[in-house]
Structure 1
Amino acid sequence: MLSCWYQSKKSFLSVILWPASVVFQFLAKLRCWYQKKYAYRSKLPVIVVGNISVGGTGKTPVVEAVCSYLQKKGYHPAIISRGYGGKSDHYPLEVNNTILINECGDEPYMLKNRLPSIPIVIDPNRTNAIKYIEKELPYIDAIISDDGLQHYRIARDFEIAVIDGKRGLGNGLCLPAGPLREPPQRLNTVNAIIVNGDAMVVNQYKGFTMQLTATNFVNLKSAAIVDLSYFSSNKVHAVAGIGNPERFFNTLSAFVSGINKHSFADHYAYMPKDFAFDDGVTPVIMTQKDAVKCNAFAKDNWWYLNVEPDIDAKFFHLLERAVFLS
């Protein structure tokens, strides 16, 4: 990601790239029109969770929170995903205990660990994933798409846009001059906006708040759980291969005395050699999304920080009324 995307004033580079941004925006609108023309309408309600900017905003925790809420209310949701970073010899692919992470991708694999009773179906063509659920999982009464706000080939009943509360929409420009996949006006058409991590800007977007609350540390090898004060006097190696590593580093800094930062690309496929910095003594702490890719070669001093999504209850009331009670 370009740092100029998130400057308060449009940088010289962003101005230079603005014509390309206009072309990108035009092509995006054309693609949207074409895909909507042939969109597949499911007999089941489809809830899409996505964003209009590149990088991590917190979509997957929202998917988790929505599914958990619907389960508690007696509904039977399923998740669809393109399975970014995974490659299977067949699709649709229903994630189960025998599926490898390199088949389904890191986020679906993590979601299956956190939501073991909820079906997750992977297909680069999300329409095929929906058709699989309709045919093979007749008890399902709602489909949640993890990402896909711009995948207009699927008709949707409820759209949720997730915004990073700290970075917002950056300079407000579309790629490559800015971080946006669609112009800011797109937010006027979604059913709900969730702002991740900064309640101060919620009113700006007329959205709902979400906080990712750290709860404990979990050991990758033993699954032992310790409380957040366990490393308070330690310096640690912090590892993050997510869309916004600084968010993780900032969260972790509240619970440890010092951090050696190790940033990797989003969805990075780790190998043991990437941890050459590990001396076997200094704790290595990562996100759960990173941890699921490191379990096979984890050491005793490797941990992940467990976080739980906490979303304004008014959001769930709006969702249920609009999708199930209307």
Structure 2
Amino acid sequence: MRYPDFWQRRGLLARALWPLGRMVCAEAARRRRRASGRVPECPVIVVGNLTVGGTGKTPVVIALVEALRAAGHTPGVISRGFGVKVGIEPVDLAEAVDPSSCGDEPWLIHRRTHAPVVVHPYRREAARQLKARYPEVDVIVSDDGLQHHRLARTIEWVVVDGQRGLGNRWCLPAGPLRESPAVLDEVDAVLVNGDEPSRHGAGTRGVPAWRIDFRPQGLVDLFDRTEHPITDLAGQAFIALAGIGNPARFFGMLEAQGAVIETHPLDDHAAPTGAQARAWLADGRPVVMTEKDAVKWPEIPTRAGQVLVVRGGVDLPPALLENTLKRLQS
């Protein structure tokens, strides 16, 4: 889906939808109250958002899984698998053949971390299957699921997009929020992607809040897997595509590296068609994209151009990791 402009302000359309948004907020608050106090059998860390659309959550999940493993834990990941129809049986990424069977984000998380990943619309069932198949897992990371209260959790992190923030701070459909912004005062940590937390009302009432930034680390050729320095972007012309929640954030990063880009934003989780891919390749300029887009690039029999994938990640604040590890030990 596309993020509509009217979610960023309290204009006429947003005000007309506000009564519905108020009902959504009330129902979300009721569900959160009913779920409070439940203790999971295995520690669960939920990495989620208050808003619809992308916030940069996937790199946070990847960084958290890697940090947990470095600290001696055996993490596993559960996810809903956006846009994928999963049947009664959860999908184990170790058995998945391509992203269409599990979703682009779980596929990327599994490829980057090699951790066990199980996908199911009901995260509680995904967690049960994860533990049954991988009994060595001692902490579960939930990719999204902040509002999925049937899943008991130990720790909640919220990731906020530093460009869009919380929009007009109203709930769907009047604004982008899935629940009240007051939830920022109830979770265990708030991570603001690309901006200072205080600008978004985070970290003002005792809940730790940090700024994080995506660090581009290099470029990888999608076809031959050769690696190139990120400095190769400077001064060069590219066709840039992004099928993520906030394509502007990715395009801005490319321009900050000195790239001259023709932008092609896609809907979140959308894949380019074969015709689009062939047209871009025939243009002569290299195509540059996110890792999430790379897993959805269509199969094309012949190589007609260069496709580069930006690899990178986020550095989690040491104090946040220290607090999290202490919570897991208690």
Change (3 A) 1:45 1:152: same
Tell me the residue number matched to 1:307.
312
Q: For 1:157 and 1:319, how far apart are their aligned partners in 2?
A: 10
Query: Any conservation in 1 of the 2:24–2:179 contact (CA below 8 Å)?
Result: no
Q: Secondary structure at the match of 1:29?
A: helix
Tell me the residue number matched to 1:153.
150
The CA deviation string for residues 175-216 of structure 1, in whole angstroms up to 9 with x for no partner, is: 111111101111111011111111364784110121110111
Q: Which runs of 5+ in 1 are unaligned?
A: none
The count of corresponding residues between Structure 1 and Structure 2 is 320
2:81 to 60, 80, 83: 83
Q: Which runs of 4+ in 1 moved over 6 A?
A: none
Q: For 2:185 and 2:20, how far apart are their aligned partners in 1?
A: 24
Q: Secondary structure at the match of 2:323?
A: helix
Query: Any conservation in 1 of the 2:96–2:102 contact (CA below 8 Å)?
Result: no
2:327 to 304, 322, 325: 322
Deviation at 1:284, TM superposition (A): 0.5
Tell me the residue number matched to 2:206.
none
Deviation at 1:167, TM superposition (A): 1.7
2:299 to 296, 299, 304: 296
Deviation at 1:295, TM superposition (A): 6.0
Q: For 1:211 and 1:61, how far apart are their aligned partners in 2?
A: 10
1:144 to 130, 133, 141: 141
Tell me the residue number matched to 2:61.
63
Query: Any conservation in 2 of the 1:219–1:300 contact (CA below 8 Å)?
Result: no
Give the residue type in structure 2 aligned to 1:288: E
The CA deviation string for residues 259-315 of structure 1, in whole angstroms up to 9 with x for no partner, is: 101011000033211232432520100100000111633754111111111121111
Q: For 2:297 and 2:200, how far apart are their aligned partners in 1?
A: 39
The CA deviation string for residues 38-93 of structure 1, in whole angstroms up to 9 with x for no partner, is: x9853210110001011111111111111111100110000000111233455222
Give the residue type in structure 1 aligned to 2:320: F
Query: Any conservation in 2 of the 1:87–1:105 contact (CA below 8 Å)?
Result: no
Q: For 2:8 and 2:275, how far apart are their aligned partners in 1?
A: 32
Deviation at 1:164, TM superposition (A): 1.1
Q: For 2:259 and 2:152, how far apart are their aligned partners in 1?
A: 48
Q: Which runs of 5+ in 2 are unaligned?
A: 204-208
Quick one: percent identity of the two aligned structures?
36
Give the residue type in structure 2 aligned to 1:194: L
Tell me the residue number matched to 2:25.
25
Is 1:265 aligned to 2:262, yes or no? Answer: no
Is 1:217 aligned to 2:222, yes or no? Answer: no
Tell me the residue number matched to 2:99.
101
Alignment of 1:112-261 (within 5 A): 112-116=110-114, 118-199=115-196, 201=198, 204-206=201-203, 207-261=209-263
Change (3 A) 1:18 1:110: same
Aligned-pair Cα RMSD in Å: 2.1
Query: Any conservation in 2 of the 1:87–1:102 contact (CA below 8 Å)?
Result: no
Deviation at 1:15, TM superposition (A): 1.5
Query: Any conservation in 1 of the 2:93–2:116 contact (CA below 8 Å)?
Result: yes
Deviation at 1:227, TM superposition (A): 0.7
Q: Secondary structure at the match of 1:230?
A: helix
Deviation at 1:21, TM superposition (A): 1.1
TM-score, normalization by structure 2: 0.91
Give the residue type in structure 1 aligned to 2:261: I
Q: For 1:56 and 1:78, how far apart are their aligned partners in 2?
A: 22
Deviation at 1:125, TM superposition (A): 1.2
TM-score, normalization by structure 1: 0.92
Change (3 A) 1:15 1:88: closer
